[in-house]
Chain A
Amino acid sequence: MESTGFVRTTMVPAVAPPISERTVVGWLRTNLFSSRLNSALTVLFLALIAYVLWQFLPWAIRSSWTANSLDECRASIKAAYGEHASGACWAVIRERYLQLIYGFYPAEYYWRPNLTFVLMLIALAPILFPRVPRKLLIFSGIYPFLGYWLLWGGSIWGVVLVVGGLAAAYFLLTVLSERYGLLVAVTSIVVGTILWWMVAVAPLQGVLHSVIPLGLPAVASNQFGGFTLSTIIGVTGIVASLPLGIVWALGRRSDMVIVRAISVGFIEFIRGVPLITLLFVASTLLNIFLPPGTSFDIVLRVVIVVTLFSSGYVAEVIRGGLAALPAGQFEAGAALGLDYWKSMRLIILPQALKISIPGIVSSFIGLFKDTTLVSIIGLLDPLGLSNAIRADSSWNGIVWELYAFIAVLFFIFCFAMSRYSMHLEKRLETGH
């Protein structure tokens, strides 16, 4: 039988891509003017952008950076651009940016928040990026205490004793857990450490300080403010609320009825009330709840409340991640003979946390933004400071410039966090 098939013996020359794929005009046609409706939308939105820029840019550019008060500012803008010109008075930022960043922290000690911030980046590096040497993690562990000491000052011996207590506790834990089992070891160590901090640290610190006086001048909490305060509250809250959130989430999925009930009650309570009511509790009610005569720092109180608040939200996100794991993972852990904590630590949590990254990071961003609420209970975060600046007679009536500055700073922080979370998602992606 004769074959009618035909196989081409030479390659066909490659054809150039269609015009819509290669030229600017083609790009415009596919992306901007693909249909009548799309063309109309493009024109409409371009007009909108042009209008906003037309209104905003002259104001932002015809500005004054040199004046020392709002009146001076307006006069200089009128002198430069005509009688009816109105422009931004960025001079207020030039004059007050240090205050917006450091609050009323003594100017000669600005190096302390700066150093704390730089050290924070170093401490965070091994946690955020896997390529950084693992040994730095020890520094990350010490950092919270070091940062506290740098910011608030005082004798170094308190910090040394607290860290020493922790180190001793860790050492004892490894010894005791081999001999008496994990549960006994953990319980006794936790009780022991807390007792050490509450009873022994204060007198020992006094003794050591009188022998070798080593420390930094103390800075009171009411001098904290601006972005330093926001960052302190935000970063501490973020770091502390993740482990706490994990504990609540595990508690909520626990088989123990009472533990579950407590976790559910806590999470629903936290998620049911606005943060501002909890901040009211921190600022007014805590004195009533605590033994007579105790008063502790307002910044610390706010940090605790913000941490608890955020942990409720983180817990719900992680619970979602746990629920999304197939039951086979739990069963596989049990089949391998792992106990509860080992199977959580090695099998369940790494997967559940990976799923929950976007949610966790967005609740962290929410926490960082919510630090502005402390201005309502009278702390001087950037927003509180903007009111304080407006109370100054030379800057009375200035609004937009301050808000824009604050908004830009918050935007940078939050946007960076959301981008990092996307990067992390991609890095941990193991699917196909």
Chain B
Amino acid sequence: MTTNTVAGAPATSFRIGMLLNDSRYRSTTIQVVVLCGLMLFFAWLINNTLNNLATLGKGVSLSFLGIPASYDINQRLIEYTSQSSHLRASIVGLLNTLLVAVLGCALATVLGVMIGILRLSRNWVVSRLMAFYVELFRNVPVLLWIVFFMAILIESLPRPTAFRGDNPEASMLLWDSVAITNRGWYVPEPLFTRSLGDLSVGGIFEISVDLVALLVVLVGGIVAARMVSRRAQQIQEDTGVRPATWHVRILLITGPTLALLFALGFHLGFPELKGFNFKNGIYMRNSLIALWLALSCYTAAFIAEIVRAGIQAVSKGQTEAAYSLGLRPRLTMGLVILPQALRIIIPPLISQFLNLTKNSSLAISIGYMDVTGTLGGITLNQTGRELECILLLMIVYLTISLSVSSLMNWYNAKVKIKER
């Protein structure tokens, strides 16, 4: 392991054999050899690549990103037409990847935590059923789940035309606000009668100012509420009496937000059946829904196991100690069990989130246009730039993964048990 040099070792003259036989020099020798080998290997790869590209009459260039993509992307978050560039198509794809990743992580966490806790239930039926769920989803490939969910959506949901007529076969859900059809799901969209307009960000895409204003007000309210609660804590520590602040905090968070919503003229735009299809509302395509549900259900099985293991890892003595200190069950959970369980749960949870994001690249099998489908799919096939497209694709995923894992390292360092 370590190269220990003994103090006062006899200073012998250097011989060439010592490069291998003397532990002081051996590791340097090995490293130099490894580095040379690696550099030779890469030189060989690059040389081959350049030769092959020269034979094919191609150079390495990213100029193809500027030319019009001339294909359609039917599920998109920002403006895009077939005249837009390949770069823009890739950005649309990247946003689609992030969309399904965020939706999937949220649903997977909710499902996973529920299933993980229910699996610990003393109720035999409940715990067995949850164990069955976990084993079923963990032991079948995620790609199979994705195509399976897609098949369910296409084969078993009503066609939009089934909603027509005086006596329709299918009806909308939730007071005529959500339409679930085999072409996709239509949900109400938020609309503003007195909108503040859109803000162009660097000429690439536009952000609704209403949304930004809402977020700012909401975050401001939460910060103010936390300040109130901190002050209450201070008063409690000084005087021993905690002033009741919950109503002030609720008002601080909801009041300004509701006022802003009212000022902007907020209302919902409901989907309506026009002709053979639905109009208005937010249209989520089947491919998005199938991918979302499949990834969530699959990842939830893994999260359930993580949650279960995390809760079981906190020893029973902790609960008993908290009870003997006189804490109530709710406080015990909040102050003793959860903080310790979370330290165990969060790191693998985040790596599951990363897995979900990487698995979302399987969208290509059901035609959801994520970044693999655009940059690594149609753009690659149209331009024939395999090298550049795949390298860019890898860089995109690497950036997402590395930034999330550096976030995780920061969190781990923060919650690490402080030892001597």
Chain A residues contacting B30 (CB-CB under 8 Å) are 256, 259
Q: Does A272 contact B (CB under 8 A)?
A: yes
Binds A, one of B46-54, B85-93, B169-177: B46-54
Instruction: Kindly supply a per-residue 1/0 record for chain B positions 43-80, scoring 1 wherever the CB is within 8 Å of any chain A CB and 0 otherwise.
Output: 00100110111010000000000000000000000000
**Is the CB–CB distance between A410 and B394 below 8 Å?**
no
Distance in angstroms between the alpha carbons of A153 and B258 in the assembled complex: 74
Instruction: Kindly supply a per-residue 1/0 record for chain A positions 258-295, scoring 1 wherever the CB is within 8 Å of any chain B CB and 0 otherwise.
Output: 11001000001101111111001100110111111000
Contact A403:B129 (CB < 8 A) given known A255-B3, A376-B364: no
Specify the chain A residue showing the minimal Cβ separation from B351.
A271
Q: Does B109 contact A (CB under 8 A)?
A: no
Q: Does A365 contact B (CB under 8 A)?
A: yes
Q: Does B387 contact A (CB under 8 A)?
A: yes
Q: Does A42 contact B (CB under 8 A)?
A: yes
Chain B residues contacting A407 (CB-CB under 8 Å) are 140, 144, 148
Q: Chain B's interface: helix, strand, loop or mixed, by majority?
A: helix
For this complex, into which size category does the number of interface residues on chain B fall?
35 or more
Distance in angstroms between the alpha carbons of A410 and B362 in the assembled complex: 18
Distance in angstroms between the alpha carbons of A34 and B49 in the assembled complex: 69
**Is the CB–CB distance between B125 and A32 below 8 Å?**
yes
Q: Does B124 contact A (CB under 8 A)?
A: yes
Distance in angstroms between the alpha carbons of A186 and B364 in the assembled complex: 45
Q: Does B372 contact A (CB under 8 A)?
A: yes
Q: Does A425 contact B (CB under 8 A)?
A: no
Contact A42:B390 (CB < 8 A) given known A273-B358, A276-B361: no
**Is the CB–CB distance between A372 and B141 below 8 Å?**
yes
**Is the CB–CB distance between B139 and A410 below 8 Å?**
yes
Q: Does B199 contact A (CB under 8 A)?
A: no
Distance in angstroms between the alpha carbons of A277 and B364 in the assembled complex: 11
**Is the CB–CB distance between A258 and B1 below 8 Å?**
no
B15 → chain A closest CB, angstroms? 15
**Is the CB–CB distance between A274 and B372 below 8 Å?**
yes
**Is the CB–CB distance between A291 and B364 below 8 Å?**
no
**Is the CB–CB distance between A399 and B390 below 8 Å?**
no
**Is the CB–CB distance between A285 and B386 below 8 Å?**
yes
Instruction: Kindly supply a per-residue 1/0 record for chain B positions 345-379, scoring 1 wherever the CB is within 8 Å of any chain A CB and 0 otherwise.
Output: 00000000000001101101100000010001000
Q: Does B159 contact A (CB under 8 A)?
A: no
Query: Which of B45, B141, B143, B394 is A273 in contact with, Cβ under 8 Å?
Result: B394
Query: Which of A259, A277, A369, A372 is B372 in contact with, Cβ under 8 Å?
Result: A277
A127 → chain B closest CB, angstroms? 22
Q: Does A69 contact B (CB under 8 A)?
A: no
Instruction: Kindly supply a per-residue 1/0 record for chain B positions 114-126, scoring 1 wherever the CB is within 8 Å of any chain A CB and 0 otherwise.
Output: 0000000111111
Q: Does B397 contact A (CB under 8 A)?
A: yes
Chain B residues contacting A262 (CB-CB under 8 Å) are 34, 38
Q: Does B107 contact A (CB under 8 A)?
A: no
Q: Does B211 contact A (CB under 8 A)?
A: no
Q: Does A415 contact B (CB under 8 A)?
A: yes
**Is the CB–CB distance between A32 and B123 below 8 Å?**
yes
**Is the CB–CB distance between B126 and A276 below 8 Å?**
no
**Is the CB–CB distance between A276 and B402 below 8 Å?**
no
Distance in angstroms between the alpha carbons of A273 and B360 in the assembled complex: 12
A70 → chain B closest CB, angstroms? 13
Distance in angstroms between the alpha carbons of A284 and B398 in the assembled complex: 20
Q: Does A150 contact B (CB under 8 A)?
A: no
Chain A residues contacting B393 (CB-CB under 8 Å) are 277, 280
Which of A262, A271, A276, A375 has the most C-beta atoms of chain B within 10 angstroms of its own C-beta? A276
**Is the CB–CB distance between B365 and A289 below 8 Å?**
no
Q: Does A340 contact B (CB under 8 A)?
A: yes
**Is the CB–CB distance between A45 and B144 below 8 Å?**
no
Q: Does A189 contact B (CB under 8 A)?
A: no
B3 → chain A closest CB, angstroms? 7
**Is the CB–CB distance between A277 and B151 below 8 Å?**
no
A101 → chain B closest CB, angstroms? 16
**Is the CB–CB distance between A31 and B123 below 8 Å?**
yes
**Is the CB–CB distance between B387 and A383 below 8 Å?**
no
Chain A residues contacting B129 (CB-CB under 8 Å) are 45, 48-49
**Is the CB–CB distance between B144 and A271 below 8 Å?**
no
Distance in angstroms between the alpha carbons of A269 and B53 in the assembled complex: 25
Distance in angstroms between the alpha carbons of A50 and B394 in the assembled complex: 46
**Is the CB–CB distance between A330 and B151 below 8 Å?**
no
Chain A residues contacting B362 (CB-CB under 8 Å) are 276, 373, 376
Query: Which of A255, A269, A372 is B143 in contact with, Cβ under 8 Å?
Result: A372
Query: Which of B20, B48, B125, B372 is A42 in contact with, Cβ under 8 Å?
Result: B125
Chain B residues contacting A383 (CB-CB under 8 Å) are 141, 143-144, 147
Distance in angstroms between the alpha carbons of A285 and B387 in the assembled complex: 6
Chain A residues contacting B398 (CB-CB under 8 Å) are 269, 272-273
A400 → chain B closest CB, angstroms? 7
**Is the CB–CB distance between B123 and A42 below 8 Å?**
yes
Chain B residues contacting A290 (CB-CB under 8 Å) are 48
Distance in angstroms between the alpha carbons of A369 and B255 in the assembled complex: 50
Chain B residues contacting A128 (CB-CB under 8 Å) are none
B294 → chain A closest CB, angstroms? 12
Contact A276:B147 (CB < 8 A) given known A262-B38, A288-B49: no
A-B contact pairs, 22 of them (CB 8 A): A41-B121, A46-B125, A255-B27, A258-B35, A259-B34, A271-B401, A272-B397, A273-B397, A273-B401, A274-B372, A276-B361, A277-B376, A281-B390, A288-B52, A290-B48, A292-B51, A292-B52, A365-B139, A376-B143, A376-B364, A383-B143, A414-B139
- Minimum-distance CB pairs A-B, first 10: A272-B401, A414-B139, A369-B141, A274-B358, A31-B124, A274-B361, A272-B398, A372-B141, A258-B31, A372-B143
